[in-house]
Amino acid sequence: RVVELLEADALILHLNPLQECVQSRGDKNFKELLPKIAQLCEELPVPVVVKEVGNGISAPVAQRLIAAGVAAIDVAGAGGTSWAKVESQRAKDHKQRRLGQTFADWGLPTAECLRSIRAVVPEIPLIASGGLKNGLDIAKAIALGGDLAGLARPFLEAAAKSEVALDEFTDILIAELETALFCTGNSDLASLKSSGMLQPIT
């Protein structure tokens, strides 16, 4: 009903198990979550997207989500905002503060999420987010198999200064991305994605 009222184009579900563990009153009841997601995918008239919140999504989890009917995945890997750290700083209870500190840097890096998911599921749309800071990071994420990229902190920092600073940052971001394409001999993002430019070091 909410999707229809808002005339939403999609529904994005945020998976945040670690954040719930660290929150003082976090809800750790994830029982039967996958069947519930499958039911949403079946009943809703719009695509369902699943997003992590800074700890990444592994290839096995991605496969289960796709089997449940999820249309796209935002990997939101480790390297950006640490909600464990945020919750640790908010916590009044010593145990919760300690939990957040222990798991502040926990999770799968964005690059590893992209590579591992793309290796087993070539076609699913992947959004690369988690620690991306500039146009070169976006280019790397696309080269590793992402279809879209998401950044938060750099935009927020620019917006906190002024609207002009936000416009300037956007222009710089585009210039960085165009430079990465030019210097790798790719005319667009589609060719960069299929170029095999980035390979793991073994």
Q: What is the pLDDT of residues 171-183, one digit of tens each?
A: 999 999 999 999 9
Which among 91, 86, 117 is positioned nearest to 103, based on CA atoms?
Answer: 86
Q: The CATH number of 2-193 is which of 1.10.40.30, 2.40.37.20, 3.20.20.70, 3.40.50.920?
A: 3.20.20.70
pLDDT of residue 200: 59
Task: Yes or no: say if 53 and 19 are a contact pair by the CB < 8 Å rule.
Answer: yes
State the pTM of this model: 0.89
pLDDT at 119 over 90: yes
pLDDT at 201 over 70: no
pLDDT of residue 162: 98
Q: Helices 59-67 and 110-120: crossing angle, nearest 10°?
A: 50
Percent of the chain at pLDDT exceeding 70: 97
Work out the average pLDDT over 139-165.
Answer: 96
CA gap 76, 129 in Å, rounded: 4
pLDDT tier at 52, thresholds 50, 70, 90 = very high
Work out the average pLDDT over 10-22.
Answer: 92
The 8 Å CB, 24+ separation contacts for 188-192 are 189/142, 192/139, 192/142, 192/143
Q: Sketch the domain layout of the chain as residue ranges.
A: 2-193
